[in-house]
Structure 1
């Protein structure tokens, strides 16, 4: 954009979000273990379109199985983990508000910060694939949640701005042989980790000295000349002496 024709700067009042504090942290969801056949009632696997009592037993003839964890919405529809709202991240309201906490820095300086509690929660499904990579079993949506405590500059009037910048879900399926040598379900472990930007913001009005911008001149556009395919003068138009 080109600058204003006027060289003088003007005093402007603008309304913008001001960042009072900003930290990054890895959040680790407590390990979720599904052990024994009772746990399968929670997972509610469907294998090849039907309810599955034991995926290890039913899929024994399909070779080596693999399992993966996919972030979804509450209905089991896959979502992008980094998309806004895919993982709910919000402040937990405290009965008496954010409490002040005195923090001593390494140089001995004492700062007064506020205790902020943050909740992150979402859903995922588990999918089991056969040796060729085809999905043969899918679980019902499962929920996860983790609450964390932060010490931030968060005076009254500020609000939480949370952004998930990375997401990882690892899952392990354990099948073991029973007394008769047939594979049977033992356990599934799900581990979820994510990286987050936590900011405390407030909408403020600032007085700044600046110049107004003007739109740039549009680049001239010239239509190219029409191009015609070459003719065949030997046969068309018909020569006079034909």
Structure 2
């Protein structure tokens, strides 16, 4: 137990973060009209006879105000996924450039110049569009609709570092336009892309070895703070 009180230098292997940025990405609007619509909404997922999607709604006495449209992230089979948890269903990878990451010289706010690297990132995934009637029942569901976007980042990404990226926020909106001679589905996607450049390194740290803490027994239910916290920065005035 002699180790528990004095510090000593230890060498640990860990992943060092060289750079870390987050960016809001608006994926270019995806639009499908007329015949494309019929392919996206197959009859087995949108039970109807031979009529088009828009005719299907008008023939059932529904107008655009009678239904709502929702859109969500899915895998390639159309199963709903959580973008924050299930990042495996989204492809987020570096686009390898033929001559490697190109160096870029940038001027910092301080006036200093620094050389960074150009990193290109590809994001690919799928969304599903559902149409719900006034009772909230799904009457129509699309096949998985693929989307993709390529983004370029200027990062500290020296040779030997690898890209680690994930989606921290995802939003998808869809709208269906039906007029007498025109039908179109528009899908807009916004996501927050978190990008890190990492490498495995061995670092020396000054550390103290751990030992188990005392177990905390069930706390008393009686309040101990009688007064709310004060605001000494603003009151009383100096």
1:58 corresponds to which of 37, 56, 59:
56
**1:200 counterpart residue number:** 197
**What's the CA shift string for 1:108-160, capped at 9, x where partnerless?**
32110000000111001111111221110111111000000000000001011
**2:122 counterpart residue number:** 119
- Tell me if structure 2 keeps the 8 A contact 1:40–1:53: no
- Tell me if structure 2 keeps the 8 A contact 1:65–1:131: yes
Which residues in structure 2 correspond to 1:127-206 (within 5 Å)?
127-178=130-181, 186-206=183-203
Unaligned runs of 5+ in 2: 219-238
Q: 1:86: how far off?
A: 3.3
- Tell me if structure 1 keeps the 8 A contact 2:37–2:185: no
**1:44 counterpart residue number:** 41
Cα gap change, 1:52/1:129 in structure 2, threshold over 3 Å: closer, same or farther? farther
Distance 1:109 1:48 in 2: 60
Q: 1:82: how far off?
A: 1.2
* Backbone CA RMSD of aligned residues: 2.2
**TM norm structure 1:** 0.80
Describe the SS at the equivalent of 2:79. Answer: coil
**1:17 counterpart residue number:** 15
Q: 1:177: how far off?
A: 3.0
Describe the SS at the equivalent of 1:150. Answer: strand
Describe the SS at the equivalent of 1:15. Answer: strand
**2:80 counterpart residue number:** 78
Distance 1:52 1:150 in 2: 48
Q: Which has the higher mean CA deviation after the structures are superposed, 146-155 or 96-105?
A: 96-105
Distance 1:51 1:124 in 2: 25
Which residues in structure 2 correspond to 1:101-116 (within 5 Å)?
101-116=104-119
**1:29 counterpart residue number:** 27
**TM norm structure 2:** 0.82
- Tell me if structure 1 keeps the 8 A contact 2:176–2:184: yes
- Structure showing greater radius of gyration is 1
**What's the CA shift string for 1:59-91, capped at 9, x where partnerless?**
221451221112110011110121222322111
Q: Which has the higher mean CA deviation after the structures are superposed, 59-68 or 112-121?
A: 59-68
Distance 1:220 1:107 in 2: 53
Unaligned runs of 5+ in 1: 179-184, 222-242
The number of aligned residues is 212
Distance 1:42 1:106 in 2: 52
